[in-house]
Every structure is written in C-alpha cells, then in structure tokens.
Amino acid sequence: MRKPPPLARERLMTKIAFMASRAEIAESARKTLIEAYGNHDPEDADFIVALGGDGFMLQTLHDTQHLDTPVYGMNCGTVGFLMNEYAPGGLIERLDVAEEEVIHPLAMRAVTPDGAVHDALAINEVSLLRQGPQVAKLRISVDGRVRMEELVADGALVSTPAGSTAYNYSAHGPIVPIGSQVLALTAMSAFRPRRWRGALLPSAAEVRFDVLQHEKRPVMAEADSRSAVRNVLTVVIRSRPEVRHRILFDPGHGLEERLIREQFV
C-alpha cells in the first residue's frame, strides 16, 4: 500500500473542527475547508477553526470553554478584530506557526428583586444598561468599598483588555494592553458626575453595582451582549483566572499588536 504524500499525512494527523456562523459566506467557506482538510468533532479536535465575525468568535469561545482546545478564527464577517484573514490554502502550516493568546473571562452574578441569582461569563465585557426612558442610578463599590455613591448615566460596563476595543471603546473607554492585568470601568453617557469616563482597576478587583430606585429606573445586565438579565438589583463582577480561552493568531497579528495598532488608526 502506497504511503500518502507528506502533506496528505500531515492533514490526516491534524484533527480540525470547523464551525461557521449562519452567514452564507461562512457556510460556503466551511464546506470548502472540510473538503480540503476533513472535519472532526470539537471534543476530539486538535484545533477549532471558527468562520464568521467577532460575534461568532465569542459564541465559539463560550460554546467550547469546557475544552482546552485552541481556537483559530478566519474572518467571514465584518469587523474581524479577533479573526485572521480567510484563505483556504496552507491552513495546516498557518496553524503550526500561529501565536497563542490566553485570555480570561469575567464572571457576572446578577440578582433580581425576586431573589433569583443569574451567573454568566463574559470574554469582552459585562454591561449594565437602562431599560426605559429614565437614566440609571448606580452605586459603585470596589472590593467592598463604596467608590461612587451615585452614578447617573445610561449605564456602565466593566471590560477585559481583550474587549477594550469593542463596546468599551465605543463608550469612549480606554484601550487596555493585553498583558496589563487591568480592567476598564467605563460609564455610558454620564450625567452625574458630569462627563465621568470611568476608572482602571486591577484585574483581581471585585466590582459591585447597586441599582438605586430600581422600580422607577430599571436596569438590565448583559455578559458579552448575551445572557441578558432584566430588572437587576445588584451585579457583582470579578475576573475568573482559572478559566482560560486559547486564541490563535497569524505571526505578527496577535492581540497585543492589534490593540496597539487600533490606537493609531
């Protein structure tokens, strides 16, 4: 029996799970790649390749967080900040030389008036948003100490470095270097204190929001714009260093480089 050529043997040895968003371009790319490289169950794969945009990349990371399998994204969406350029050829070689970034999520614990507790993880940010026409009133505590008695704003968020260029940046928060061990606390359209933009906190800090006048000024909480909890009373946010997500990038295009480049656009 003839041995397969070297590249074919390499393809047989490298087990890849291809996952795609519902976008037509992503589904088409998945079919092309499966024809070239085969396909494996994520539970048995050496690599997971996510095809879509940043939203799908976050979904893939959440869906596979119980695995310790690196995820390599290829952009078949719009922004693609967490993705690599899509190209069907040379994938094995790209995976072989890819640079790995390890990021840790935030844990959100939200409590509602009926006493229900809602837990969720966020890779980018945990956000609190007003539900109605009235602005939110929030008390902010850090590590058990009240730091702001009353923030009057459309909302506030706590962002990881990886998520600092997403919702946080749109709310005029700072871009945080990936290895800085810092979280960004950012206000959205702050009314009082006037123009308050937020604070930088150690990654080990525990941030607590208490919603004031919750019946008149209801607030909802979200983790990565999902897992929405309406009419919250309190939200506690802390880092989860024991949970890790492994993301692969082409050499010279890792998160650190992207975060620096984003500041000079």
Is 20 marked as binding a ligand?
no
Question: Is 167 part of any known ligand binding site?
Answer: yes
How many CB atoms lie under 10 A from the CB of residue 8? 10
Cα 49 to Cα 214: distance, rounded to the nearest angstrom: 43
231 annotated to a ligand binding site: no
- 165 is annotated as contributing to ligand binding: yes
User: Is 101 annotated for ligand binding?
Assistant: no
Identify the CA nearest to 159 among candidates 233, 216, 108: 108
Amino acid in the structure at residue 132: G
Sign, CA torsion 130/132/135/139: negative
State yes or no: 125 annotated in a binding site: yes
**C-alpha–C-alpha distance, residues 72 and 63, integer Å:** 14
- Known catalytic residues are 54
In contact, 221 and 210? CB cutoff 8 Å? no
How many angstroms separate the CA atoms of 111 and 115, rounded?
Answer: 6
Task: Please state, in angstroms and rounded to a whole number, the distance separating the CA atoms of residues 251 and 97.
Answer: 7
Q: Which residues contribute to the annotated binding site for NAD(+)?
A: 54-55, 124-125, 154, 162, 165-170
Q: Which residues contribute to the annotated binding site?
A: 54-55, 124-125, 154, 162, 165-170
